[in-house]
């Protein structure tokens, strides 16, 4: 389960309003940014909030062979949240994840970005429910 989890909050996005309000435009962008660095989409679900006449944001997820990408938009706040996790089991996908995340951030053109990176799976030899490993204890 070794991997890299990237999380970003984008504020004051200066992109075209359509990217924040149109689920289909958001889907196309997400699939495009996954393809460029070599991530492998295996499924996608996107949902449009509001109506065609009065769109109110979109949310979507791309299931990747390497794990997932989730994006949520708030057009009334000109804000977006991104969540991209890649597994590094058979190869290190960290560079591809970072490249996809950077492309997404650039597409939304935020005035402010809050980013977090979490390396996952660092607990070598620890299994959930292992009685020798106490919750929160240093190993």
Q: Which of 2, 68, 72, 94 is catalytic?
A: 72
Q: How far out from the chain centre does Cα 97 lie? A: 9
What Å distances lie between residue 116 and 14, 37, 39, 113, CA to CA?
A: 21, 20, 20, 10
**Catalytic status, residue 67:** yes
Q: Give the count of beta carbons closer than 10 Å to the beta carbon of residue 55.
A: 18
**Catalytic status, residue 87:** yes
Q: Which residue has the tokens 């944001």?
A: 57
> In the structure encoding, which two tokens stand for residue 60, read together?
């979507």
Q: Which of 15, 30, 67, 101 is catalytic?
A: 67
Q: Which of 15, 30, 87, 101 is catalytic?
A: 87
What is the set of active-site residues? 67, 72, 87
């Amino acid at each position: 389960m070794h991997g890299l989890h990237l999380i970003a909050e984008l504020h004051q996005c200066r992109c075209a309003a359509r990217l924040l309000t149109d689920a289909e435009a958001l889907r196309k962008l997400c699939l495009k940014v996954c393809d460029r660095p070599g991530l492998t989409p295996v499924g996608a679900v996107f949902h449009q909030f509001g109506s065609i006449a009065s769109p109110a944001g979109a949310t979507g997820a791309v299931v990747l062979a390497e794990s997932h990408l989730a994006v949520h938009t708030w057009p009334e706040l000109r804000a977006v949240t991104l969540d991209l996790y890649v597994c590094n089991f058979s190869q290190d996908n960290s560079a591809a994840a970072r490249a996809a995340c950077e492309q997404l951030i650039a597409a939304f053109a935020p005035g402010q970005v809050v980013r977090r990176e979490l390396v996952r799976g660092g607990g070598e030899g620890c299994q959930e429910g292992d009685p020798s490993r106490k919750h929160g204890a240093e190993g």
